[in-house]
Structures are given as structure tokens and as C-alpha cells.
Chains A and B, each alone.
Chain A
Amino acid sequence: MIRGHVAERSGPRIPGLDRSVPVWVAAALTLVVLMALPLGWIGWVSVSSEDGPTLAHYATVFRDPQLQKALWNTVVMAFWVGLASVAIGAPLAWLTARTDLPGKTLIRGLIMASFVTPPFLGAFAWVMLAGPNAGLLNRLYRDLSGADGALVNIFTMPGLIFVVAIYTFPYVYIMVANTLALIASDLEEAAAILGAGRLRVAATVTLPMVAPAILSGFILAVLQALALFGSPAILALPAGFHTITTQIWSFFHYPPKVEMAAAFSIPLLLATALLLQVQKRLLGRRGYASIGGKGGRRRAIPLGFWRYPALGGCLALLACAIFLPYGVLAKAALSRAWAQPLTWDNLTLANFTFTFFEYSATQSAVLNTLELGVMTATVGAGLAALLAYVTNRRLIVGHQILAFLALAPIVIPGVVLAVGLFIAYTRPPLLLYGTLWILFVAYVTKEMPVGYSQADATFKGVHPELEEAGRILGAGRLRVLGEITAPLARSGIIATWCFIFIGVIRELSASIILFTPATKVISVVIFDLKEEGQFGPIAVLGLFMLAMTFATVVLMQRVLGRDFMGAKE
């Protein structure tokens, strides 16, 4: 989904001024403001006090043993999530891209479902599945084995890592699968002819070629884990430990310690920036001649006896990510008491009526979410398309800076962005806190890297020759854009829209700090309900959110004519 931005030298630079320049300038300024304002405020507040500049907040943050623990927990969690994601994602990618595994379409569909599942919903479902005592899997285990203890306890660090990893591995999967799809089979076949077994070929020939993709996927997974708020809030807090994001959130409890939140945001910001830099290096150095060669053939490697065991393994894994969690959510949505068996007595639609018709916060949250989703997706896709067009056609001096700015928000975790926006927009001249606008600004900023990468790929596929032809025939740039480029880029832009929309409707980590009671969104309502242990309504809203997401995915697939994770069959 997020591509390393490797600038290609294609298309001539068209010099000179024309009427479109103010448009590009405005777009650039917008980006600068989106980024600079929150980050600038975080930096400033983290070093300011009533008596002038100070490093006291940093000193407090790094001396407090509670906060040190939170830092360490975050490192441990993110590292293991990265490893687990590789352990799941890479083999799955190999199986679906290079072998004759049966049911590949199904497997890819399920991986996509896990990709779009909001991790906090997954965490929530796993509370019902693997709570040590009431969790359904543990109860089943006790019933079957007669044992006293629990098979798994989800309220632990390993539990948290597991739940995060089953929704994060698709990042590794996509990276590796897309790379594998580009590698010709020649080398593998040569090795096979020389007598190497299938596993040996995979380990000694294929693996080194995809190693950069694996590492880069590992880093993406680590970044995802670092930035998560919902899953740790649901699983780590009951277990009695914090991560950086939950700790930053708790700094906002009354009386708020915004300067501490700002100071504690900086390590997270730096870690993210550093990791992305490493990832960029990795992708930039990818110089294997065998990758990207168009001439090579790709042959499916026969799994032989292992075909069905491998399929079984894949399905078991995806059961953890999809079937079991969705099943338990559906059950909770229909039950009076989620932990009791689903008998006629326990069956009810009351959760649905309560959620949608009796709880007055729901309807406005649904409307807010839809409104924000449509607004952000429309403005965000428009802005992303504009920027991608400018950078691809190199229309202005400094277009590289624009590309950098558009991708830069990826270094800002949602919670950190929210801290910055909170500080920036709770004071004049722009009092946006308390309105939907502050959420809108947060979402546009947060989704810009995703939107830009998508739009960038789209414009790379639209050749400049056609535009030049139009220009030669006398059309202005805006007219060329409207009549030639736009129609060609249409489906790519719609996909960008859908990506952003999906990102917005599930957003929690920025919303949880920026909402006010009048501007709640669905994810925040779910979080409120969680505080009270209202499993039924949470399940109803969760399923509703999933349904909206899948409707968008289906729309996108219709438009693109393929599934949106990128690799072709």
C-alpha cells in the first residue's frame, strides 16, 4: 500500500508560468500548514513552561519509572509484532504467489478482510474468545480437557502481540507477494535442475531475493504496532500495563498534562521517522537483476503432498483473524448475555434496537462518521491527485519537496498528530476544537501518504505523450488535465477515494483525543461502550463498521477490476 517513493525520470519538464500555478502553490501551502502546525506546536509546548524554555518535561518523562515501562513495553510489542507478521505474512505470500496452493482466491480474499478489519475490533472480539475464564475458546478447552486453567490469556503481552500481528501481517504479505510476482522463475528452476529440493530452493534462492521486501514489510508492521492505540487500550490496560500511545492518551485526563504528552510524543515520532528512513534505504538499494525483468516466466511450484496441509494451515491462521472474531461478534450482537450459549432464551434483537434507536449518541456518530468519511475522501483524493500530478509531471520547481510533504505525515502516529492538532487548534486564530473540522484536518493529514502513494501510482501509469499531443494541438494545461488526463486516471482516483474512506471510518487513535461529545464518531462510541462493558451494542456497531468497509472494498474492486492489494493473479 505504501510504496517507497522512487522518483522516475519520465516526462519532460514543462517550463514557464501559466494560470495553474496558483493552484499548485495553494496545494503546497496546505500541506505545509497541515504538517508544520501540529508538529511545531508539539515541539514548542514540549520545551516551554511559564518561566521560559525548559527541558524539564523531557527530564520528567524519561526519569519516571512508569513511563520508562511504557516505552519498553512498546518496543517489545512492536518488535515481536514485526517478527510475527513476517512469520505469517512471508510464507503466505510465497504460498499464494508461487505455488499451486488450492483456494488462492479465497485465501487472498481473507487476507484482504484481515487487512481492512479495524485492529481494535479484532482485539475486542478476542477478549470474548480468549479471556482466560469466560473466553469461549478457554471454556471449550476446559470442557474438552477437564483442565482447570486457561489455554490462552489474551490479557498479556503475548496475547496483545498475537492480536495485533494477525491484523498487521498483511503489510508484509503485500510487500512480499508483490515482489514475488515480479521474480522470474529462471534461477529457481536452475537450482532445481541442479538437484535442490523445493524447500532448499525457497530458502537459498527465493528468500534472498525477497529479503529486502521482507525487511521492509517488517518495518511497516513495526510502525503499525507502534502507532496503535485501540488494541493496547483494550488488552494492555486490563493487564495492568501501558504502551506509549495509551500513556499519551492518559496524559489528557483531567487535569491535562499537555506538555508531558508533547514531550512523550517525541520519542515515538523519532522512532517512526528513523524506521522509515531505514526502510527507504532498503527499497532504494534493491538492485537484483532478476526482479522486474519482464522476460522471465513464472511457474507455480508444485506442493505435492503438502497442498492440503498447507491450505489447512492458512485457513487455521485466517480463522484466528476472521472467522472466529467475526463469529463471536455476530454472536454477541444477537445475545442477551454474550458469555451464555446462543439458545432461544438468549437470542435477541434488543442490541440492535438499543444501539440504533435508543442510544442517542449512535445516530449522530454514524452521521458524523459518514460526513467526515465522504468529506475527507473527496478532499483528500482531490489533493492527492493534484499533488501526484504535479510531482509526476514536474510542473514546478521543488516538486520533490511536495512529494516529501505528502508522504511525511506517515511518520506521525495518530495519537501524536492529535496531540499537535489539539494544541494548535484550541487557541486563536483557528478554534477548530469542538467542531468536525479538527477531525477533518486530522484525517486529511493522516490519510495523505496513503492517498498520495495511490494517486502517484495512477499517474505513473498515464503517459505524458497524450498530454503533450493535446498541448501541441493548442489546449491549455487545465483543459488537457480535464479532457485527457482525468478520464484516464479516473479509476485510480476512485480507488484513492475508497482507500481514504476506509481509513477514516475506522480511525480511533486521533479521534479519541480530538472528539467532543457533540462530534463523536463510531469508533469513539465503541470505545465509550467498551468502558462500560456493553458487549452487545459494541458488537452491533462493530459489525456495522465492517459492513461499511466491505461495501467500499466491493465498490473499489468493481472499479479497479482486480483486488486492491495490488498483485495480479
Chain B
Amino acid sequence: MAQRWRLAMTVLGVLAFLSGAAPAPAQDVRLEAAKKEGKVVWYTSLVLPSAEKVAKLFEAAYPAIKVEVHRTGSQRILQKLMQELQANIKNADVVHTSDAGHFVLLKEKKLLMHYTPAGVDKFPASFKDRDGYYYGLRATVNVIAYNTKIVSAAEAPKSWKELLDAKWKGKLVTAHPGYSGVIATHVLALANHYGWDYFKQLAQNRAMIVQSAADPSAVVASGERPVAVNGGDYSAYQLKKKGSPIEIVYPKDGVPLVVSPTAITVFAPHPNAAKLFTDFTFTKDVQQVMADSEGLYTGHPEVKYPADKPKLGELKLLQVDPEELEKRNEEIKKRFVEFFGA
């Protein structure tokens, strides 16, 4: 792990050196302008340590440009962004959330810059907006996670349906679609698959309610609840790598795939730095870092995944349409609150 990490740093260092020493003329213009801008403001729902890692990599490659990371849940990012616009505040350069529906909305409101990051032409179609406004920076799948000190592998639930068993009453933790785009996607995917009745029944088991999609794994790792009924697999994977007693189940009945888009705002106060940063996050090296140490999936065709993670192709993926997600966002939140209470 550490070796890979060092390798990535070296590669990036070399890249940075090259880009400084022998730049392409077009890029030079942009780099100079970005340097003058001095920073890029990134609204992101990527779990905080990972977001800071990406930011630090960029700052290492472009020492003159700072990344200002504002990390919170997808829904709160949209909330703040829209509130700011209502007050005519233009602060965000790059927006990255896990609710693809947000980008449908933002595009409709003409708030996104038409920009295609370098290298995304090789990405699969599910990572690209056909009109070229936003692109999937990373992906995760929603999984069940359990605490290995409390639950044995044999007892562990294997499917979403098994979570409805009364034996899990008081033992579950769920994140909230009102905060997390990963969970909003998850709820829609399962509601389409099993109907709302699934969540109504799940709520009978009195789950503890947390907010971010990263938090259920943390709760499970601490032992507060033995089983997480949702959450991005990458946060559970990271905790497992750090030695926490947590194991991941990829349910056989299908795993909701969450592609998290990124886009530059049309009003970006630091547009050149924003473009540079966006291109940078789509480079193979950064995408490889996301796959390696952060446990994410990406659209980059050349990225190699850790051997202890399933390939996306091996999983039965449940996908949702961003436009449907955008349209039904209110309904998803309302239903969840109705069933789970808050």
C-alpha cells in the first residue's frame, strides 16, 4: 500500500516537474492564469480524508494553487450552493456530489460550464453527460456491512431482504437520503426494485439514523450497531484496511451503483484553476489513487483495482436514471422521513 502510494507521489512529482519544464503552449496560458487566480474552491461530498488527499496531491503538483475543500453531504452542498446563488454569492468553482440528479437540475438552471475534462472520452457512457456538462469522477456501490466481532460470517445478512428479519431489530444503522446523495440513489434503486414496502418493513427494525453514507460503516466499526443497511462500500473498505472489525457484503440481489459527477460552475470565480483541477482529478494517477487507497471505483479504463475488491463487472448493478432521481428527490426524502421518523 505504502509503496504504491509513494509510487503515485513520484509519478505526480515527475508530472508536475514536466508540466513546469516543458509545457504545451495552450496549457501554459491556462496555468499562468490559474496561478494568478491562486486557488480553487471545491464543494465536495467525497469523504473528508479522501477529499483532502486529492487536494494535497493537486497542491503538490501545482504549488501556486491552493484547494479550498468544503466537504459535506450531497444534499447540503446543493442547499448551500442554491442559497448562495439566491443571495448572488459566487463562491464555488467545482461541485462534486453523489446525487446525479443534482446535476440534471443544475444543468437545467444553466449553472454548469460546458467543459469536457481531458481524457474522459475513453470513459464508459454511464460516466458521461451526453451534453458534456458533467462527468463521473468516481463511483461506489451500496453495500451491507457488519461488525465481525459481533456477527459471524454465517449469520451475516446476505441480501437486502434478509435485513427485514425481526432478529435485526435494534441492531441496524442507516444513513439518510436527506443528506447523502449515495443514499438517495440507494433508496430510489431499492424502491424501484422492491417497492416502498421494503423500506416500510425495514423501518420496523428501528434502525439508528445517521447522515453521511460514510457514517454507517463508522458506526459498525465502533460496534455501536452490528449491521449497516447501506453506505458506500469505499468507506467500509477503508476502515477494514485500517484494521477495524468490519466486513462487506455485496448483496446478490443487486448493488445500487452510485456514479458521483463533477462539474465546473458557470460562474466559477477561478475558472482556469477549476479546469486545471478538474483535468487533474481525471488523470489516470489520481483515479488510480482513488481506486487504491480510497477504495473507490472509477470510469478510467486503465485503472487497476485492488485484488481484494470485486470488479464492477462481477456485481449485479442496480442503476438509476439521474433524471428520475432529480424528479423524485422530494418523494424519496418524504417517504424516508415518514417511515423512519426523522
User: Which chain A residue lies CB-closest to B71?
Assistant: A528
Closest partner residue, chain A, to B79 (CB atom): A254
Distance to closest chain A CB from B220 (angstroms): 10
Q: Mark B32-60, 1 if CB is under 8 A from A, else 0.
A: 00000000010100011100100110000
- A339 near B222 (CB under 8 angstroms)? yes
Interface centre among B86, B226, B338 (most CB of A within 10 A): B86
Contacts of A338 in B (CB 8 A): 222
In the complex the two chains form, what is the Cα distance from A254 to B215 in whole Å? 21
Specify which of A131, A359, A431, A518 is in contact with B88 (CB 8 Å cutoff): A431
Q: A434-B87, A528-B72 are in contact. Are A354 and B49 (CB under 8 A)?
A: yes
Q: How far is the CB of A325 from chain B (nearest CB, A)?
A: 17
Are A426 and B342 in contact (CB-based, < 8 A)?
no
Q: Are B224 and A134 touching (Cβ within 8 A)?
A: yes
Is there a chain B Cβ closer than 8 Å to A347's Cβ?
no
Which of B48, B80, B340 has the most chain A CB atoms inside 10 A of its CB?
B48
Closest to A132 in B: B224
**Interface-centre pick from B72, B84, B178, B333 (highest chain A CB count, 10 A):** B72
Q: How far is the CA of A131 from the CA of B208 in the complex (A)?
A: 11
For B212, list chain A residues within 8 Å (CB). Answer: 531-533
In the bound complex, residues from chain A placing their C-beta under 8 Å from that of B270 are: none
By a CB distance below 8 angstroms, the chain A residues around B68 are: 360
Interface centre among B43, B47, B88 (most CB of A within 10 A): B88
**Contact of A359 (CB < 8 Å), options: B48, B178, B337:** B48
With A254-B79, A361-B69, A426-B83 known as contacts, the answer to whether A131 contacts B224 (CB < 8 A) is: yes
How many of B's residues come within 8 Å of A, CB to CB? Answer: 57
How far is B157's CA from A192's CA once the two chains are assembled, in angstroms?
69
Q: Which residues from A are CB-within-8-Å of B224?
A: 131-135, 339
A337→B244 contact, CB < 8 A? yes
Whether B209 lies near A531 (C-beta < 8 A) is no
> Are B56 and A358 in touch, CB under 8 angstroms?
yes
Binds B, one of A94-102, A118-126, A237-245: A237-245
**Chain A residues positioned under 8 Å from B211 (CB to CB):** 237, 531-532
**Which residues of A are found within 8 Å of B214, using beta-carbon distances?**
532-533
Given the complex of chains A and B, what is the CA–CA distance between A431 and B79 in angstroms? 18
Task: Tell me the dominant secondary structure on chain A's binding face.
Answer: loop
Residues of A within 8 A of B209 (CB): 237-240
A248-271: which residues lie under 8 A (CB-CB) from chain B?
250, 252-256
Encode contact with A along B215-247: 1 for CB under 8 Å, 0 otherwise: 100110111111000000000000000101000
Question: Quick one: which of A317-367 are within 8 Å of B by CB?
Answer: 336-339, 354, 358-361
Is B78 in the interface zone, CB < 8 Å from A?
A: yes
The residues of A that contact B272 with a CB separation of less than 8 Å are none
Minimum distance in angstroms from B75 CB to a CB of chain A: 6
A155 at the interface (CB under 8 A from B): yes
CB atoms of B244 and A240 under 8 A apart? no
A443 to B214: give the CA distance in the assembly, Å.
33
**Shortest beta-carbon distance, A375 to chain B, in Å?**
21
Q: How far is the CB of A377 from chain B (nearest CB, A)?
A: 27
A133 x B223 contact (CB < 8 A): yes
A19 to chain B, nearest CB (A): 39
Supposing A253-B76, A360-B55, A517-B70 touch, asked if A434 and B89 sit within 8 A by C-beta, the answer is yes
Known: A337-B222, A528-B72. 4 other contacts (CB 8 A): A238-B210, A242-B341, A252-B83, A254-B79
A sample of 28 cross-chain residue pairs with beta-carbon separation below 8 angstroms, ordered by A number, consists of: A66-B337, A133-B223, A133-B224, A237-B209, A237-B211, A238-B209, A238-B210, A239-B209, A240-B206, A240-B209, A241-B341, A253-B178, A254-B78, A254-B82, A339-B223, A359-B69, A360-B66, A433-B87, A434-B84, A516-B80, A516-B83, A516-B89, A517-B80, A517-B91, A517-B92, A531-B73, A531-B212, A533-B215
